[in-house]
Structures are given as structure tokens and as C-alpha cells.
Structure 1
């Protein structure tokens, strides 16, 4: 089984990782389709193009982290961008 530390992006495995512990519910509970999580989301990235790393905790900060990574790092570097 892979632990969370194994999924954290680093120099050898750059990329973006987002996680949040789900709330487990009974299969017949209509509330199981909610997007609520049991813990605050955590995100981190390591850019393989420029080597920059960043982390965030909480929905708003993780969303900003994803936007930053998408606009300025991983995908931008693969397209020959920044």
C-alpha cells in the first residue's frame, strides 16, 4: 500500500497532488453524494520545468495552488511556455 508521503511531488516525481479524506457513508444514504470531506484538502506541487515547489491547505488555497501550477508550471513548461 502506498502512503501519502509516497505521493508528494518531488524532484524525482514532479507534478501536482491533491488529497482530502472522504466522509464514508452507507451506500443508501442520499447525503453520500455531497462533496463534503472529513478533512481540509491538502495540495502540493513540484515543477519539473523550473524546480519550484509549493503547498496549500484548505479549499480556497488549494484551488489557488492548482491555478498557479496550471498557469505557470507543469503544463506551461510542457507547452514551451514559462
Structure 2
């Protein structure tokens, strides 16, 4: 079954997941997630904070819930 993705690809409660955008010359990198397992949400700006956000999501949320860990 296919789900309709939000127009800006930002994760939502209806379409949870992780989104990361790299920085450019004029903008900082950004990241967002919504966990489909527990509903947690987070947002980060800047390379170090986005890296920490991805580590948190992969270690404690999305994949962790799907794999039965937690």
C-alpha cells in the first residue's frame, strides 16, 4: 500500500520517518523526525545537532521500534 507523502517531505504522524537536508552556502543543515512507534518528534539545525538527531532516531526510535528493540 502506498501512502501519500507530504508536499515538503517533512515527516508527520500520518507519514512518520526521518528527513535530513544538507546545508548550503546560505543555510544550515536541518533534520526532523516523527517516530511511528512512540510518536516522539524532534528537530535540529546545524551539522552537529543533525548528526545527534539521526543517531537518536536510529538508536531509539524508527528502526529500533520496527526491529523489536526498546
Q: TM-score, normalised by structure 2?
A: 0.83
Structure showing greater radius of gyration is: 1
Structure 1 unaligned segments of length 5 or more: list them. 22-36
**What is the number of equivalent residue pairs in this alignment?**
64
For structure 2, the residue ranges without an aligned partner over 5 or more in a row are 1-5
The CA RMSD measured in Å over matched residues stands at 1.6
Quick one: distance in 2 between partners of 1:68 and 1:20? Answer: 18
Aligned to 1:49, which of 10, 18, 37? Answer: 37
Select the structure that is richer in helix.
1
Structure 1 runs (4+) deviating above 4 angstroms are none
Task: Give the deviation of 1:5 after TM superposition.
Answer: 5.9
Name which structure has the greater RCO, CA cutoff 8 Å, separation 6+. Answer: 1
